[in-house]
Amino acid sequence: MTKSSARPFVLVSLLLLAAALLSIAVGSVLIPLSTLGELFRSALNGLPGGSAQVDPYLTILLRLRLPRTVLMILIGAALGGSGAAYQGLFRNPLADPYLIGVASGAGLGAVLAMSFRWPYSLLSLLAVPLAALLAALLTVWLVYLLGRVGRTLPTTNLILAGVAVSSFATALTSFLMINATGELRRAIVWLLGGSTLSGWQPVLAALPFITVGLGTLLFMGHALNVLQLGDEQAQQLGLPVQRVRRLVVVAASMATAAAVAFAGIIGFVGLMVPHIIRLVWGGDYRRLLPLSILGGSTFLLLADVVARVVMAPQELPVGVITAMAGAPFFLWLLRRARQQNYW
């Protein structure tokens, strides 16, 4: 906490920028970097379109690549940031954004929405993510009510209630999926972390939740540091423990719920990114939170690029890539750090 170097922030930001450029350029149609530069120049000069040669690229860029890239940045940020927050809140290295039922709640909401036949409209496009978002927030609220004891929220109760409610929601989801027909493939793709949406709508819909959620979390760094001493000592040091707990749970769940709703269930980002940051730059939450947000975006962008090209023209769900790349890398880091007092 004494070091306040800006170097990690510069480094991770540069990585994020590189990943974003890669994500914009790479896909089933490769946009050459020179064309990208020309597009940016003409955009800066206020000329829509530019030369005729550039025009088809512009459509791909504006309609497909750019929204996809921005969405991945948002989702990765939400997962990385809330992962760091949950690990701090529960003082548990295995805590992840889905721990208290966000994912299974969202899954139930999504499958419920898919089991209806919607007339084609904007609402039908957004029905599934919105239902997922609503169900995720409802689940967290239910877990919160069940885990509460008087006015306090003991960690063990919260986790136990989360596990119970999660299992129940997952069982309901399985039941619905067995009975459902037709839309099943879409549900499976979504559950594996594949976005079924494209364009700017999901970006705009997820933006407010993720901004408010992560914005709140950025103010919680010091409080999470104090919480590492345990609830009792934290309160004796003057921290309003219950208020901090509530704020962190609500903010992190809001960001995660939006991420799950608009991009499906993407594993390992929220668990792994904060650990990597912690291993490299230490566990001060005032640095860990913002760095995990930037790192989450970077990691998810790279995973998404791989998901797009590895079986092109078919796209893999990005969740498959994050888990396949993430798990071994994480284990390697863990082995290396076994001797250090890093957690």
Partner 1 sequence: MLSVRNLQAGYDERLVIKGVSFDLPEGCILALIGPNGSGKSTLIRCLSGVLPPVSGDILFKGKTILKASSAERARWMAVVPQARNLPPAFTGWEMVSLGRTPYLNWLGQLSEKDESLVQKALELTSTLDLAERRIGELSGGEQQRLLLARALAQAAPILLLDEPTTHLDLQHQLSMLERLRGLAHPVNGENGLPWRRLSALVVLHDLNLAARFADQVGLLVNGELRALGSPQDVLTEPLLSAVYQVPIEVMNLPGSGRPVILPRAH
Q: By CB under 8 A, tell whether 154 contacts partner 1.
A: no
Q: How far is the CB of 217 from partner 1 (least distance, A)?
A: 11
Residue 340: other Cβ atoms inside 10 A: 8
Token code pair at residue 79: 């997962």
Q: By CB under 8 A, tell whether 155 contacts partner 1.
A: no
Strand partners, 95: none
Q: By CB under 8 A, tell whether 238 contacts partner 1.
A: yes
Q: How far is the CB of 95 from partner 1 (least distance, A)?
A: 15
3-state helix, strand, coil in the chain (%, to 5): 75, 0, 25
Contact between 246 and 172 under an 8 Å Cβ cutoff? The reply is no
Nearer to partner 1, 183 or 284 (CB): 284
Question: Which part of the chain contacts partner 1 (CB under 8 A), choosing from 6-14, 99-107, 131-139, 234-242?
Answer: 234-242
Q: By CB under 8 A, tell whether 338 contacts partner 1.
A: no
Distance CA 150, CA 141 (A): 15
Q: By CB under 8 A, tell whether 284 contacts partner 1.
A: yes
Q: By CB under 8 A, tell whether 282 contacts partner 1.
A: yes
Distance CA 196, CA 202 (A): 10
Nearer to partner 1, 188 or 218 (CB): 218
Among 81, 107, 193, 221, binds partner 1 (CB under 8 A): 221
Nearer to partner 1, 65 or 245 (CB): 245
Nearer to partner 1, 227 or 255 (CB): 227
Among 82, 225, 253, 322, binds partner 1 (CB under 8 A): 225
Q: Side chain identity at 77, as an amino acid letter?
A: A
Q: By CB under 8 A, tell whether 156 contacts partner 1.
A: no
Q: By CB under 8 A, tell whether 228 contacts partner 1.
A: yes
Q: By CB under 8 A, tell whether 189 contacts partner 1.
A: no
CA 18 to chain centre: 19
# binding residues, partner 1 (CB under 8 A): 28
Residue 182: other Cβ atoms inside 10 A: 9
CA 229 to chain centre: 27
Among 32, 56, 230, 328, binds partner 1 (CB under 8 A): 230
Distance CA 324, CA 170 (A): 23
Q: By CB under 8 A, tell whether 240 contacts partner 1.
A: yes
Question: Which part of the chain contacts partner 1 (CB under 8 A), choosing from 45-53, 159-167, 192-200, 220-228?
Answer: 220-228
Q: By CB under 8 A, tell whether 5 contacts partner 1.
A: no
Contact between 187 and 114 under an 8 Å Cβ cutoff? The reply is yes
Q: By CB under 8 A, tell whether 1 contacts partner 1.
A: yes
Q: Side chain identity at 290, as an amino acid letter?
A: P
Strand partners, 152: 149
Q: By CB under 8 A, tell whether 239 contacts partner 1.
A: yes
Contact between 323 and 268 under an 8 Å Cβ cutoff? The reply is yes
Nearest to 242 by CA among 153, 146, 148, 160: 153
Question: Which part of the chain contacts partner 1 (CB under 8 A), choosing from 93-101, 120-128, 201-209, 214-222?
Answer: 214-222
Distance CA 122, CA 254 (A): 23
What residues line the site for partner 1 (CB under 8 A)? Answer: 1-2, 219-223, 225-226, 228-230, 232-233, 235-241, 282-284, 286, 341-343
